């Protein structure tokens, strides 16, 4: 890596939701020479060296790691709502566990100083009791194949770091939202935008989220901070919301007041179970809180953006995309 005197960094998963934002932040800060790894070829971007490579148990990283001081490992086989493979745990392990272990082993041999691994709060578990937030001290209790594979990767990284000079940092985020978000969060915005009545007006859970800006800021903070060495941190916005409150505030940010019917939580869960979506009902009604006091105390880190600002940004992006799509449709219509 021709680093021009700047520290060399390697970002895997560089074209994903979080990776794209991280690479852009690194590029604009001009403090790093960035090498970005993606599974597919990417068009050139000034100041970024793109590499096409898969994270796999047998990938050769020797050339990619030359001159690299820090690795930001974001690439993963992500959690999916409807698994179609016959053996999902093996599929998750191939990328998330064995692929990570392979990269970390070669990184330690190449003299990488710090390996920052974006894991998942699913390592802690799937739910918390109200007021009993997860902490980094909790005994890991992953319940699905994705969470298990992420936890096993953490163990492998700790083992490699314990036998070599390479430092590690593990960050466990919950649901991440921000401009460009997809999946269920975008679906919620579409429902609100269209004014669809929703049966979520009496949900009294508490859930932690993390905005894209806040997660990227924590990742950057862990790059050089001496107290981040060989530590695990939970990431969140610092303000927990019920599903009802989230929908109301998101609707307000979209300029479309949420139409929420006060259906009791128990009936909501039964309804989702009847359509074979029990897990969705649990996420909408259950609590999942993260205590971020360790990041505050150890790193002096506080979330840069409030929940209100984070929701405003994601809503603004959604509305702009809708306006652009509508304008394109009008141009395609015959005169």
The predicted model scores a pTM of 0.91
Residues 6 or more apart from 150 whose CB is under 8 A from it?
A: 76, 96, 119, 120, 122, 123, 142
CATH of the domain at 99: 3.40.50.720
Catalytic residue status for 146: yes
**Are residue 265 and residue 134 in the same domain, yes or no?**
no
**Are residue 272 and residue 297 in the same domain, yes or no?**
yes
Question: Strand, coil or helix: what is 133?
Answer: coil
Task: Tell me the pLDDT tens digit for each residue of 110-142.
Answer: 999 999 999 999 999 999 987 899 999 999 999
Task: Tell me the pLDDT tens digit for each residue of 54-95.
Answer: 999 999 999 999 989 999 999 998 866 555 666 788 889 999
Sign of CA dihedral 288, 294, 297, 303: negative
Element (H, E) at 234: strand 231-234
**Are residue 67 and residue 150 in the same domain, yes or no?**
yes
Nearest to 51 by CA among 128, 92, 103, 98: 103
* Residue 30 pLDDT: 67
Please tell me what DSSP assigns to residue 123: G
Average pLDDT over the chain, rounded to an integer: 90
pLDDT > 90: what percent of the chain? 71
Number of structural domains (the chain) is 2
Contact 207, 236 (CB under 8 A): no
**Are residue 156 and residue 198 in the same domain, yes or no?**
no
Domain membership of residue 2 (yes or no) is no
Q: Is 228's pLDDT higher than 80?
A: yes
Instruction: Tell me which of 146, 151, 177, 193 is the catalytic residue.
Output: 146
Mean of the pLDDT values across residues 272-301? 91
- The model's confidence at residue 207, banded by pLDDT at 50, 70 and 90, is very high
Domain membership of residue 225 (yes or no) is no
Q: For residue 122, give its domain range.
A: 8-172
* Residue 39 pLDDT: 84
**Are residue 323 and residue 202 in the same domain, yes or no?**
yes
Q: Is 3's pLDDT higher than 70?
A: no
Q: Is 322's pLDDT higher than 60?
A: yes
Helices (H) and strands (E) counted in the chain, each on its own, are 11, 9
Query: What is the Cα–Cα distance from 28 to 9, expressed in whole angstroms?
Result: 14
Nearest to 246 by CA among 197, 185, 194: 185
């Amino acid at each position: 890596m021709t680093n021009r005197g700047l520290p060399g960094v390697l970002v895997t998963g560089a074209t994903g939701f979080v990776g794209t934002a991280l690479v852009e932040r690194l590029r604009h800060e001009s403090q790093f020479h960035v090498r970005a790894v993606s599974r597919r070829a990417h068009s050139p971007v000034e100041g970024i060296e793109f590499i096409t490579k898969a994270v796999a148990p047998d990938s050769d990283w020797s050339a990619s790691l030359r001159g690299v001081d820090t690795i930001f490992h974001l690439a993963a086989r992500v959690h999916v709502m409807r698994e179609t493979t016959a053996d999902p745990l093996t599929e998750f392990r191939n990328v998330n566990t064995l692929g990570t272990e392979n990269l970390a082993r070669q990184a330690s041999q190449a003299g990488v100083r710090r390996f920052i691994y974006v894991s998942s709060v699913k390592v802690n578990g799937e739910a918390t009791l109200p007021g009993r937030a997860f902490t980094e001290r909790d005994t890991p209790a992953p319940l699905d194949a994705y969470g298990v594979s992420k936890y096993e990767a953490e163990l492998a990284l700790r083992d490699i770091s314990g036998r070599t000079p390479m430092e590690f940092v593990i960050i466990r985020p919950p649901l991440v939202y921000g401009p460009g978000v997809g999946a269920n969060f975008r679906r919620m915005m579409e429902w609100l935008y269209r004014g669809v009545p929703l049966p979520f007006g009496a949900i009294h859970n508490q859930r932690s989220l993390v905005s894209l800006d806040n997660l990227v800021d924590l990742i950057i903070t862990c790059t050089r901070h001496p107290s981040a060495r060989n530590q695990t941190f939970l990431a969140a916005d610092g303000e927990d919301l019920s599903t009802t409150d989230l929908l109301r505030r998101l609707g307000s940010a979209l300029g479309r007041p949420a139409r929420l019917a006060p259906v009791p939580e128990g009936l909501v869960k039964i309804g989702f179970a009847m359509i074979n979506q029990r897990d969705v009902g649990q996420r909408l009604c259950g609590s999942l809180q993260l205590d971020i006091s360790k990041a505050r105390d150890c790193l002096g880190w506080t979330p840069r953006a409030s929940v209100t600002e984070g929701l405003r940004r994601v809503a603004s992006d959604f509305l702009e995309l809708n306006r652009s799509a509508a304008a394109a449709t009008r141009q395609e219509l015959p005169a």
